């Protein structure tokens, strides 16, 4: 199982967006994530973290990127960070818990 952080945002103005805000475009990408059930996700202030099969995650990221283009973007930047651990199971929660445990 892979855990992937992804940030997808338009470069330049997108019709309907207010000023330099990208929240409308991010919301369009997140609609794609919410419409499926194979990949778990968490939204935070800078990234969306995805958890599941890596091939399914890659396909989902592609759909998310297309949603931003469909929202009117002419150029889209995508940042992807992958944690693909093969020695033992890992989840979004277990990674956070491992750090929390060391803070006690």
Other residues' Cβ atoms within 10 Å of the Cβ of residue 57: 23
Percent of the chain with pLDDT over 70: 95
CATH number of 2-102: 3.30.70.930
Confidence of residue 100 (pLDDT cuts 50, 70, 90): very high
Q: Rg of the chain over CA atoms, in angstroms?
A: 15
CB 51 within 8 A of CB 59: no
Closest CA to 7 of 60, 35, 49, 51: 49
- As a whole number, the mean pLDDT across the chain is 93
Is residue 18 exposed (0-12), middle (13-18) or buried (19+ Cβ within 10 Å)?
A: exposed
Q: What is the pLDDT of residues 10-45, one digit of tens each?
A: 987 677 666 778 888 899 999 999 999 999 999 999
Q: What is the pLDDT of residue 17?
A: 66
């Amino acid at each position: 199982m892979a855990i992937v952080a992804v940030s997808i945002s338009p470069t330049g103005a997108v019709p309907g967006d207010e000023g330099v805000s990208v929240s409308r475009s991010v919301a369009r990408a997140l609609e794609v994530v919410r419409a499926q059930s194979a990949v778990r996700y968490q939204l935070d202030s800078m990234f969306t973290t995805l958890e599941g099969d890596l091939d399914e995650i890659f396909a989902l990221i592609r759909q998310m990127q297309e949603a931003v283009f469909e929202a009117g973007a002419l150029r889209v930047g995508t940042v992807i960070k992958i944690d693909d651990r093969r020695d033992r199971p890992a989840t979004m929660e277990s990674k956070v818990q491992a750090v929390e445990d060391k803070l006690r």
